[in-house]
Amino acid sequence: MEFLWSLTAFIITSSLLVIVHEFGHFYVARLCGIHVERFSIGFGKILWRVNRYGTEFVISLIPLGGYIKMLDERVSIITPENMHLAFNNKTIGQRIAVISAGPIANFLLSMLLYWLVFILGVNSVKPIISDIQEYSLAAQASFEPGMELKSIDDIEIHDWNSARIALISKIGNKELIMKVLPIGHSKPIKKTIDLRSWNFDPDTQDPILSLGIMPISLKQDPIIHKIQDGSAAELSGLQIGDKIIKINEQIIDTWHPVSCFIKQNPNIPLLLSIDRQGEIHQIILTPIAKNITKNKQIGFAGLELSIIPYPDEYKITQQYNLFSAFYHALNKTWQMIKFTLSMISKLITGDIKLTNLSGPISFAKGAGISAESGLVYYFMFVGLISINLGIINLIPLPTLDGGHLLFLLIEKIKGSPISNRILDISYRIGAIILILLMMLAIFNDFSRL
């Protein structure tokens, strides 16, 4: 059932993003007087088609993209009376406008979705520090419990999610400056964290915890609330209502939660001390191993603990009127564009490993989880993916919009179009690179299953 839900969410989301992207190209092409022969959602076998306004609109079998086919004398024979309708006969400015319209449409979709998010309101938690781990980077920078995060390198922080995004974008940096509001203060103060010894793996770690900062968050009461059938927890003899007191003689506390012990010890027996109706019992639990990357595993026990809800004073709702929401949507879109560009640059420089690259399976999982969480969270997910799609398409790689824009720039500089032979070779190379990157992303997805 979970697979079908994720698959459905993936098809709906990818189709929406493709429709918006290709409609950007289509709409501006029509404005420039270019005849569009086909508007396709998907590739491969055509499942449905209809002709409207001289354009064939089709839905194809494989929902992993789409395209518009414009009249172009470089790829088909055109009668003299239709020459003015061909893409290649338009000015360079018009062709740049058509090519750029797809990514711009993705950015506009993101801004619209974030606008709706801030109108509807998104619930979150104030970024207040609960505890600081001894000898951590945050402890060395004199952070204290009770401080509220206000900004990270001038990026305004409203909740812990925005703090995580800001921190991830700092991978590879030597330091960062946080503005925090201590208890009883009216103005924020600056704290500088030395990142030269920051060992952070975005695949397995929370960037906030990796600095030694424990956020105010939902706390786990170490009382077992649910046990999955056939799980490691059930096989060990654990029961609903058991309270976990110690694991391997370590008392369960803020920095040593049950979930950390389980995740960090796949296939390794753990000695649990539990309180069962006032009596202390010793139980051996061996978490099963789950792959998250090719070389990394985490433990899974199949148990759920009771959750202690947030105190009301820590809860916030980011909800604004139409005009304020538009401003926040614009700012959010810009921040996510900068974040995505930062991630791409760090992939190129090697600060982030290629094993962190995700493909359609991760996309499908994210779509399913966000859709299940509610409309606001789904809008936020689609907004982020739409920005990613827009920026990736602007990479100057042949077959992508950025590659077409690069060719047009070269044509403008040299005063004549690039030869068909060079274009053909470039497209072949670009297609090979894209296929290899897609294969790597899919491989990474499977290694995490």
Q: Is 279 a catalytic residue?
A: no
How is residue 370 written in tokens? Answer: 């966000």
How is residue 232 written in tokens? Answer: 């490691």
**Among 2, 22, 144, 304, which one carries the catalytic annotation?**
22
58 SS3 class: strand
Provide the sign of the torsion angle of the four alpha carbons 201, 205, 206, 212, taken in this order: negative
**For residue 271, which amino acid is it?**
L
C-alpha–C-alpha distance, residues 47 and 347, integer Å: 38
Which strand (E) or helix (H) includes residue 341?
Answer: helix 322-349
C-alpha–C-alpha distance, residues 359 and 443, integer Å: 8
C-alpha–C-alpha distance, residues 420 and 410, integer Å: 14
How is residue 75 written in tokens? Answer: 């790829």
Q: Which residues of 82-96 are buried (b: 16+ CB within 10 A; e: fewer)?
A: eeebbbebbeeebbb
Contact 333, 141 (CB under 8 A): no
122 SS3 class: strand
C-alpha–C-alpha distance, residues 185 and 49, integer Å: 65
Provide the sign of the torsion angle of the four alpha carbons 362, 368, 372, 375, taken in this order: positive
Instruction: Give φ, ψ of 163 to 5 degrees.
Output: -70, -40
How is residue 106 written in tokens? Answer: 């993705």
Q: What residues are annotated to the active site?
A: 22
